[in-house]
Amino acid sequence: MKIRVSQFIDFAYGDKRQDKAKVKSIISDLDLPYDPIKDRYKQFREALISFENKKISTEKFRSLHSSVSANKSTGYQVLCQNYLDLKEDHALIWQGHSPVEADISGLSITTAWYLRTEANNQRRIIFLHFGKEQLPRKKERGLLTILRLARPESAGVGILNIQPGTLITATRMDQREAEYLQGRAKKFLACAKSLQADV
């Protein structure tokens, strides 16, 4: 079973009295079709790929805001410039759209979109997160823990939290968080199996 990282984090930190209902809603959400109308960052991601694959110039990437709707224009302008600045300042190496799978107690979790830095021949992974608002602290820490479990060989794991107003790199990790999420993953699977048995 593959679910989105954000869905699992919502379950892990949600209302514990509603575990079965939450698992049921996550499983049913897997059947929902992709809705491009709700995908605010689709054009940014596509331009980012083109830019990193050298299909468009830095100037064209920087001027992306002029070709999007008015309600996205200002945010896109800041996004593109901040991405270029942060990438240069931190010597980030683009790794593209490479899915990363974390297996936590048999629960397979997939995410993608990452850059990396290299220090002392160790990899430090920085994943891109696209969202209208900054991740809540609990969700951010949980996501970092899952990514660390997915890439145990990396020296550290971070999130490049992309929003219209800013870019934030987060690197908080906690072993207790990992143990907690492993326990919740077992609970998720137990709920999923009981739902299948009810069918």
Q: Are residues 62 and 84 in the same domain?
A: yes
Same domain? 170 vs 189: yes
Contacts of residue 63, Cβ cutoff 8 Å, sequence gap at least 6: none
Per-residue pLDDT of the chain (199 residues; tens, 9 = 90+): 778 888 899 899 988 899 999 999 988 877 777 777 777 888 988 999 999 999 999 999 999 999 999 988 988 898 898 889 888 888 888 888 777 888 888 888 887 778 888 877 777 888 887 776 777 888 888 888 888 888 887 777 888 777 766 667 777 778 898 899 999 999 999 999 998 887 6
Residues 104 and 179 in one domain: yes
CATH code: domain of residue 24: 3.90.320.10
Are residue 79 and residue 163 in the same domain, yes or no? no
Domain count along the chain: 2
Verify that 158 and 115 share a domain, yes or no: yes
Residues 24 and 83 in one domain: no
Entry pTM: 0.76
Same domain, 78 and 47: yes
Number of H helices, E strands in the chain: 7, 8
| Residues 156, 194 share a domain | yes
Residue 157 and residue 131 share a domain: yes
Of 89, 107, 123, the residue at which a domain comes to its end is 89
For residues 157 and 179, membership in a common domain is answered with yes
What angle (nearest 5°) sits at the alpha carbon of residue 52, between those of residues 50 and 55? 40
CA dist 163 and 59 (Å) reads 21
Question: In terms of domains, do 61 and 145 share one?
Answer: no
Domain that holds residue 83: 39-89
CB neighbours of 112 closer than 8 A, spacing ≥ 6? 97, 98, 99, 100, 127
Q: Strands 114-119 and 156-162, how do they pair?
A: unpaired
- Please state at what angle helix 5-12 crosses helix 137-150, rounded to 10 degrees: 120
Residues 33 and 59 reside in one and the same domain: no
Q: What CA dihedral angle connects 40, 41, 44 and 45, to 10 degrees?
A: -150
Helix, strand or coil for residue 120? coil
